[in-house]
Each structure stands twice: as structure tokens, then as C-alpha cells.
Structure 1
């Protein structure tokens, strides 16, 4: 192994040596603790330390790094206290996730580290968002994110690199090419020869380094970072290496030919660098032993503190509270009830646009992202004219990369910004589903980082758009703790709930019904205001029954009540997570007969949850069974006659008649 010291001082070389030695010694201790049953799982990075150490020490301390399982050197290089690391791995209260997650599945803004989730690839897009925030604020900073050679097969890898290239984001994508994805060798993972061949296809520079040579890694990353700070753009950096143990300790290494271990043992990053330093006279035997003793004492002290820390005491109330960043909305912004505010008649679509525009004015840190939303104004023209007012930095056309764009929204949040992601149609959210339910929704619960992201979802049938542009998929998200879900039925709430979603620092799924865009109009206050999230609205009062609904269902219920002379409470939920249990209780106790109506399909729809809650909490007030009315349990058909049967209006009519005569 050739070490070219260039102009680096002895102090720099010794700093790199200590940086290498600490994670190696911690790893050796962890393997002992694993055998003793004091930790439950360990992903060893022995043999790969030079990548994380060299790259981390090459950056400025306030530049973000997004590591993987085998990047212990990132955490030690950022001087994360060892007692907290050990507590994290033991599931103790002083760990970074309070015992809620393990390994390196955590972040710490104090040390500018964002840990992984088990799905690996999503963190690459988060790095894009962090780098985008720096670029928008003219901060000359670089972000580093890691991928294994196996994880580079994921779609998230492609999306993140593509977005970074299109937007020229200062991200260094480091691929740790160790030849295996768990047990699957590279020749069964991909057909190209080397990862640097991918760079030109994305329009980005690609560099290959000896991943076991800490000085080469450090020098390369340092040089690239200095350049990227002045000339922002992404770079793909392939680091050739090998892991000397299993994917994790329980998996073993029987699938790896023995000759590979023998070959790579000769390239050990710690032993080779230490030997070279001794030969060059930079390090002597006394200093070598002193460094080891110092690190050993630090490890033992960290373990002593962590071992003395108790395991978490379960508190259901605290667990529930920590799913969301605590937030008290500004009550002065709620829509006044005295009708004193000037209003203008607006369609549902115009009210959304108005709320979005005023939120952009109110929050300079808000960034809009979506397909065709810039000059074109979006397929529904909601952002028409926004580029002229706010600029392309804040109103961003995106590639067809739903996952990467949602992940970038989390990255923007980490840097204190707000993000809106527009799904062109709610159906397309499947391509970004993992980022929403596993990254946005769980981030605050896991490590205290909120995701200040609003995902706008044009939804619903009735326009003969077929099975891929008409789904009502809100129930996918009402089942996901950590998200908030809103679904306005009218122009006033469409604006107010959207403004409230941006005010709220937690992730909000905002559903907007396409059929309502240009079919309903109402006087909408001209000024900025919010509609409280979590509060239902009683839009019609009556005594025969209660119809609990939302979205287009509100209009179906109102029309039918008028047509058949039905005296009914019609409760518009408005918010689906958390839904207003008290408003539901009040209307059930009042009428004793309940229909729950939604456009979503019946099985697994939100109506089942509400019906179960009513049966559990309001049973003694019921005069008849709770009825659910919903769309057929099929995909949404294209032809209008088929779509008419799919939708629930006729079944609503029949159920009202049945309940009236019960």
C-alpha cells in the first residue's frame, strides 16, 4: 500500500492514525460484548475504517454526513461521546433514540450526522435536501452520504443521484464497494465492472480510491470538498474495500472464499498505516502504546457509564406524545366567526392556490417541489405564476423521482426549512411511500428530528380517469403514526387547512379532491388564516341520524338530505389523523343512528376504525347498528357507467332509507 503524504504535517498524519485506531478498538470490544450477550447485534466495519475516518476528518465539523452500518468512524470522528454510543447500542435511555431504535439508526444535529433507516437507499435523498438547503442559502458546504454496493441497486440510489445531478447539489456519494451485498457477490448484483462507470451517465464526475488507504481517502475527499464548496455539484466516489467479518455477526462468512480474506488481510487499513508511520518516524513505539492506552481507558469509562444507565421505563403517554413534535398552533390565525373579514368568491382550486401563495409569503424558508409545478404551473395550474413571484429556487420542477423528492423534503427540514411535495396524482405516491411512512413519519419518534413536510395529494374519482388517477388512498396514511392527514371538502377549509399544514412542523398529508377543484365556489377570506387540524365541522344539523363523512362525501350527503327531506347531522371530519372523537361522540349521542360515508373502498377504509370506536365508546347511545357506506372493493374503473356503480352515492340512498325505517 502506497502512502503519499504530500504536504501533510505529522500532526495531521497522527490525527488520522488516532481516528483509525479508535473505531477498530471499539469494534474489537464490541465483539467481546456481543459474545457476552451485552449487545444484541453488531455490524462490523473491521477492514473498512479508512473510508469513514478519512472522509469524516476531511470535512468541516458542521458539514453533514449520512452514514451506514459500517461507518463507526464517522461517529468517533465527530467526537460523539462513547457512553452515549454504548447506551444507544444497549437500548438505554441516554442513547440517541431512548431505546426506540438500535445500531446506527439515529441522527444527531449536534454532531451533524443523520443516521440510516434499514431500507438503506432513502438516506441518499435526504442528503440531497440538506445540500439543497445549503445551496439555497448560499452556504459553501458539502454533504457526504454513503451507499454499499448492494444498496446501490435500489431505485432510491438512482433517484438521489439523478436529482443531485439535475440540481447540481454539492453531495459526495461514497460507494463502499466491498464485493458483497450481505451474501450476494457483486456479479449477482450488477453487470458493470466498476461504479465509476455510472458517473458519466448521470452527468457527474466519478472518482475511484483505495478504500483501505486512509491517506488517499482523506486527500481525495478534502480536495473534492474544497472544490465543491466553490463549484457546487455532485461527485460519485467509489472506495474499493472488503469487510473482514459477516454482514452482521450472526450471518457468518462461509459464503466468502478463504483466499479473499487472505488477500485483503494484507491490506488492513489500520496495520498498514501504523507500519508506515513507524517506518517514516512519524510514530514511535511509546506513542503507539500511549494512544492505545488512552483509547482503552475512554472505552472502559464509556462502558462504565452506559452500563450504569437503566433500561427505559415504558410510559405509554410519553411514547404517544413523542410521535409528533409538540406544537401549539397560533389561535389568532383561526378563521374568525364574525364574518367581518373581506372575502372573495373562490373555487376550491383557487382557494388552494391562494393558501399556498400566502404560505410562501409568510414562510420564506418554504420550498415547493413537484413535477411540472414551475413555469407550467402544475397539471391543475395551482402554482401558475409562482415562479415569477418566488423564483425557481423555491418553486422547483422535479424529475419523476417521488421518493427522492420526499426524502429531500426531510433533508430540508433538518436544515430548518419547510417543504411541500406535490404528487401529480395521489396514486403516484406509491413511488414515494417508503420515504413517507418510514422516514418522515418515524423521524421525530426515533431521534427527535421533525419532518416539516406537506405532501399535497390530488385524489378521488368521478372524472373517468381510471384506476391509476382516481384512487382514494387516504387510509394508507391514517394507519401511520407520526403523520397528520387532512381532507378539506370546501374552499374555505381548503385554504385554511393548507395554511395550517404549513404552520404545523410535523409531516402532513393534504388530500384535495380533483372533482371539487372547479365544481364548487364559496366566499373565502382574503387574508391569511388557518383551519384547526384535528377539528371536525358540523355542516348541517338534524335529528334523524348522523352522517359522518369527509371530502366529496360531504356534498353527496348534503344533496341527498335536501332531495329526500332528511333531517340529519352531517359531520365533516376535515382531519382524518387525528380525527375528532369528541365531535363524533356528540353527534352519535344526539341522534343514535349513524352512517359513516367515504369514497375510499369499504374494507380497510377509515370508516371501519370510526365504527369500531363508536361501538366501543358510544354503544349505549345507539338505536340501530352503525352502517358504513363506501365504494366497491375494486380498483377504480374507467368507463363512466362502471365508475358510477363503483362510487357510493346509490348505496348511500339505500342505506339512508334502511336506517330511517329501522
Structure 2
């Protein structure tokens, strides 16, 4: 292995040796503990230490790095106290996830490390968002993100590279090509000769680096990063290396030819480097032994500290209270001046006022810049706020959701427009697995609002008409808002942007231009989790939201003899069950109306909760009214048949008569 061609001081050469030796020795200890049942799972990076150590050493301490589960060298090079790592792996309270997640599925702002999730791909888009925040703040900073060759087949990989290239983001994409995706060899994963070649398709600079040569890794990455800080751009690096152990220890390496293991064993990055340092008289055997003793002592001391910590005693209220970051809502009351505007105008006005209030707020979405979005909600925003903060995106929902998370990690706020709520399916993974779970897992909130134009009644067919809130109300960690009126939409949107938690903000397309209301001109906020009592009566309780509110109004106006409590939920997570219980106890009957198809929707949960908590007050069966159990059709007559509106009046009268 050629080390002499790289000009590095003896001091750095020695520090790189120590930095590689430490994770190797920790791993050797972890493999023993794994066999003893003291660690539940282990993903070995033995033979790949040069990459983690070299890249992390090249970074500045305040630059973010996003590692994977074979990058122990990232954590040790950033000098995380070892007992914190040990307690993390043992599932104890001093671990970064307090026992809520395992292995390297965590991050820490203190050490500027952002942890992975098992789905791998979103990590790359998060790096884009972090780098975008640096760029918007005019900081000469790079971000490094790791992935394996297996994840380069995921759509998130391609989306993230494309976004970084289009936006000239200073991200170092590090591919550890270690030969196998679990047991699948590279020749069954991709056809190109080198993964670095994939950079060409995105107009991106790329390089191939010997991932087992610590001096090559450190030197080349340092040079690239120094240039990228002054000339922001993404760079794709393919590190050629090999995985000497199983994907994780339980899987073994029987699928790897022995001759291949033997060949790569001779390229061990640590042993070869030791031989070089001894030949150069930078290291002697006695100094190596002294360093080993020093590291071993540190490992033993920190392991003992981890062992001595008591096991976690489950606390239900603690778990429930730490799904969301605490948000101390403060009501901002509007002034007396109002204007009669449509729902779509109220949303646009609310967005604009929040952009003025928060100079760290960025709007992203397809066609949201000069075009103003397909519904023209952001029309004129570019002229007022500039293209840096009002950003057109490629068609890559997953990467942009992930980038929004990255912006939040790096101290900014993000509003992402899904062009249609239906398209959230293309960004589903980072929404439900990254945004929703990060605060509970390791205390990192997602200050992200995803706007969701939704709903039927406009003959837009199966892919532009869904009201898919049930996809998200099921997921702890997300807040779900669904206003029916311009006044509510503006105030709730302001709150959604203020709230540091991820919010899915549903906007019914059918109400955009048909619903007018007097709306305050000034900025104001409205609380989440407070239903609106729109009509009062004693005969029945109607619970609904979105377009269903207006369907209920039409039905009650047509049947003036029905005296009902009409509750507009306004937010679905949090849900105002207290208001529902109070009304049901008064009226004795409950009907729940939703536009979504019935099975698995919010109406089912409300029905169950009322049955469990108000059964003795009921004078009749709870009725749920929803749309047909089919995809929503395009033809107007078929759509009218599909929608719950056509069945609500009959169900209401039937329950009244019960």
C-alpha cells in the first residue's frame, strides 16, 4: 500500500493511527460482549476504519457528519465519551436514545453527528438540507454523509444527488463500497464498473479513493473539503474497501469466497499502516503497546461506568410526554381590521406573514417560485423574499422532505408544499420514519410544515383527489391540521409554523376558491386541539372536519327541525376528545362524518373512544359516514356517488329517529 506519496506531518500520521486503533479495539471488545449477551446487535466496521477516521479528521469540529452503522470511527474521532456509546448499545438512560433505539441509530448536536435510520436513503437528503442551511447563512462549511454501495440503488440516493447538484450544495457523499449489500455481491446490485461514475449523470464531480489507505483518504478528502468551503458544490466519493465480517454478526460471512477474504485481509488498513509507521520509525513496538494500554484502560473504565448504571425503569408518562417537543403555545390575538377573502387567500396571507416574521423560514416545492405553485398560493413570493427562500424543487418528494428535516437540524424552519396530498406517498418514508420519530428517539425536533392540498369534488380522479389524513394520524410524532374556514386556516397555519414539531397541514382544494370569510388582516395564532362548536342543539352531536363541515351545514339548513351540536375538529392530532365527550353527554347521540373512505379513518377511532368513555350516555348507536371503499373516481356522477355527502342526510335522519 503506497503511503509515501502523501505529504503529511508525523504528528498527523501518529494521530491517525491512534484514531484508527481506538475503534478497532472497541469493536474487538464488543464482539466479545456480543457473544456474552451483553450487547444485542453489532454491525462491524473492522477493515473500514480508514474511511470513517480519515473523513472525520478532515472535517472541522463544527461541521456536520452523517454516519451509518459501520462508522464507529466517526464517533470516536469526534471524541464522544465512550460510556455514552456503551450505554447507548446497552439500552440505558445515559445512551443518546435512552433505550428507545439501538446501535448507531442516534445523533447528537453537541458533536455535530446526525444519526441514521434503518431505511438508509433519507440520510442523504438530510445532508442536503443541512448544507442548504449553511449556504443560506453564507457559512463556508461542508457536510459529509455516508452510505454503502447497497443504498445507492435506492431512489433517495438519486434524488439527493440531483438536488445537491442542482442547488450546488457543499455535500461530500461518501460511498463505502465494501463488496456486499448484506449477502448480495456488487455484480448483482449495479451494472456500472464504478459507483463514482453515477456522479456524471448529475453533473457532479466524483473520485475513487482507496478506502484502506488512511493517508490517501485523509489527504484527498482534506484537499477537496478545503476547496468546497470556498467553491460550494457536491462531490461524490467512492471508497473501495471490504467488509471483513458479516452484515451484522448473526449473518456471518459464509457467502463470501475464502480467497476474497484472504486477499482483503492482506489490505487491512490498520495493520498495513502500523507496518509503514514502524518502517518510517514513527512508531516502535513499545509505543504501540503503550497506546494500546491507554486505550484499553479507557475502554475498561467507561465500560465499568456503563455497567454500573441501573437498567431503565419504564415510565409511561415520560414516554408519552416525549413524543413531541414541548411547545408553549402563546395566543397572538388579531386586530379588529378584517377583509373578506377566500380560503386560498388566507393561506397565502398566513404564509407571507410568517415569512416576514421568521427570516429563517424557507418554502420549498414544485413550481412554488416564479409560477407561484399550481394553486398560485405563493404567487409574488419570489419578488418579496427571493429565490433562496422560495425554492423550486425537482420532482423528488422524498429528498425534499428529508432536506426540510436537514434545514430544521441546522436551525431553520421549512414549509414544504406537496403539490397534491396524494404525492405524499412518494415522500412517505421520511415523513413517518424520520420527521415523526426523531424527537422521541434522540431529542431532535423537526421544525417542518408539509402543506397538503387535498380532497374531492373537483373531478380530479384517483391521484389528485384523496383526503389521506388517516395515513398520518396513525403515526405518533406528527401533528395533523385540517381547517374548514379561511379564518381557521390562517391562524392554524401560523401556529403550525411556530410549532417546532412536524405538522401535516391539509388544505381542501374544493374550498380554496369557494369559501369566503371575514379574516383579520394582522398576524394571529389559533391553538391546536380545540374543536369549534359551530351550532348548538340537544338532539344529536355531529363531528366532522374539512369539507364535511360544509356538507353538515347544508344538511342542517335543509332540515331546520334538527337541533344539533356541530363540532368542527379543526385539528386531528391533537384531537379535542373532551369537546366531543361533553357534547355527547348532552345530546346522547353521535354521528361522525368524514370525506375519506370509512374503514381505518379518524371516525373509527372517535367512535371507539366515545364507546369506551361515554357508553352510558348514549341513546343510540354511533354512526360513521364516509366515502365508498373505492379509489376516488374522475367522472362527476361517479365521484358524487363516492363522496360521503350523498349519504349523510339519510344517516343523520335515521339516527335521529332511533
TM-score (norm 2): 0.99
Contact 1:334 1:532 in 2 (8 A): no
2:543 to 548, 553, 571: 548
Equivalence for 2:369: 374
Contact 1:99 1:311 in 2 (8 A): no
Contact 2:342 2:514 in 1 (8 A): yes
Equivalence for 1:578: 574
Contact 1:58 1:222 in 2 (8 A): yes
Contact 2:91 2:98 in 1 (8 A): yes
1:366-422 Cα shifts (integer Å, max 9, x gaps): 000000000000000000000000000100000001000000111111111100110
> Deviation at 1:287?
1.4
> Deviation at 1:650?
2.1
1:533 to 523, 528, 533: 528
Equivalence for 1:115: 115
1:146-165 alignment runs, 5 A limit: 146-165=146-165
> Deviation at 1:6?
3.7
> Deviation at 1:264?
0.3
Equivalence for 2:604: 608
* Residue 189 (structure 1) aligned with residue 189 (structure 2): yes
Contact 1:484 1:509 in 2 (8 A): yes
Alpha-carbon distance in structure 1 between the residues aligned to 2:441 and 2:581: 33
* Residue 346 (structure 1) aligned with residue 335 (structure 2): no
* Residue 448 (structure 1) aligned with residue 443 (structure 2): yes
2:477 is paired with a residue whose SS is: coil
1:113 is paired with a residue whose SS is: coil
1:7-406 alignment runs, 5 A limit: 7-331=7-331, 333-334=332-333, 341-406=336-401
2:436 is paired with a residue whose SS is: helix
Alpha-carbon distance in structure 2 between the residues aligned to 1:537 and 1:311: 45
Contact 1:144 1:174 in 2 (8 A): yes
> Deviation at 1:341?
1.2
> Deviation at 1:656?
1.2
> Deviation at 1:5?
5.8
2:565 is paired with a residue whose SS is: strand
1:559-598 alignment runs, 5 A limit: 559-565=554-560, 566-598=562-594
1:458 is paired with a residue whose SS is: strand
Higher mean C-alpha displacement, 281-290 vs 390-399: 281-290
Alpha-carbon distance in structure 2 between the residues aligned to 1:489 and 1:214: 60
After superposition, the CA RMSD in angstroms is 0.7
Alpha-carbon distance in structure 1 between the residues aligned to 2:4 and 2:216: 8
Alpha-carbon distance in structure 2 between the residues aligned to 1:488 and 1:506: 18
* Residue 648 (structure 1) aligned with residue 624 (structure 2): no
Using a 3 Å threshold, how does the CA distance of structure 1 residues 295 and 5 change in structure 2: closer, same or farther? farther
> Deviation at 1:112?
0.3
Alpha-carbon distance in structure 2 between the residues aligned to 1:491 and 1:589: 30
Higher mean C-alpha displacement, 558-567 vs 246-255: 558-567
Contact 1:4 1:216 in 2 (8 A): no
1:548 is paired with a residue whose SS is: strand
Equivalence for 1:461: 456
1:295-338 Cα shifts (integer Å, max 9, x gaps): 0001001100000111211111110111000110112x145xxx
1:367-516 alignment runs, 5 A limit: 367-516=362-511
2:567 is paired with a residue whose SS is: strand
1:569 is paired with a residue whose SS is: strand
1:15 is paired with a residue whose SS is: helix
> Deviation at 1:4?
3.0
Alpha-carbon distance in structure 2 between the residues aligned to 1:195 and 1:4: 27
* Residue 618 (structure 1) aligned with residue 625 (structure 2): no
1:208-253 Cα shifts (integer Å, max 9, x gaps): 0000001100011101100110000000000000010000000010
Alpha-carbon distance in structure 2 between the residues aligned to 1:136 and 1:4: 40
Contact 1:459 1:513 in 2 (8 A): yes
2:128 is paired with a residue whose SS is: helix
> Deviation at 1:7?
3.4
Contact 2:6 2:219 in 1 (8 A): no
Contact 2:348 2:378 in 1 (8 A): yes
Contact 1:422 1:455 in 2 (8 A): yes
1:76 is paired with a residue whose SS is: helix
Unaligned runs of 5+ in 2: none
1:107 is paired with a residue whose SS is: coil
2:395 is paired with a residue whose SS is: coil
1:179-205 Cα shifts (integer Å, max 9, x gaps): 110000111111111111111111100
Alpha-carbon distance in structure 1 between the residues aligned to 2:185 and 2:286: 42
Alpha-carbon distance in structure 2 between the residues aligned to 1:39 and 1:426: 42
1:600-628 Cα shifts (integer Å, max 9, x gaps): 11000100000000000011111111000
Unaligned runs of 5+ in 1: none
> Deviation at 1:648?
1.0
Alpha-carbon distance in structure 1 between the residues aligned to 2:460 and 2:493: 25
Contact 1:208 1:237 in 2 (8 A): yes
Contact 2:6 2:216 in 1 (8 A): no
1:511 is paired with a residue whose SS is: strand
Contact 2:397 2:426 in 1 (8 A): yes
1:146 is paired with a residue whose SS is: strand
Q: Count how many residue pairs are aligned between Structure 1 and Structure 2.
A: 657
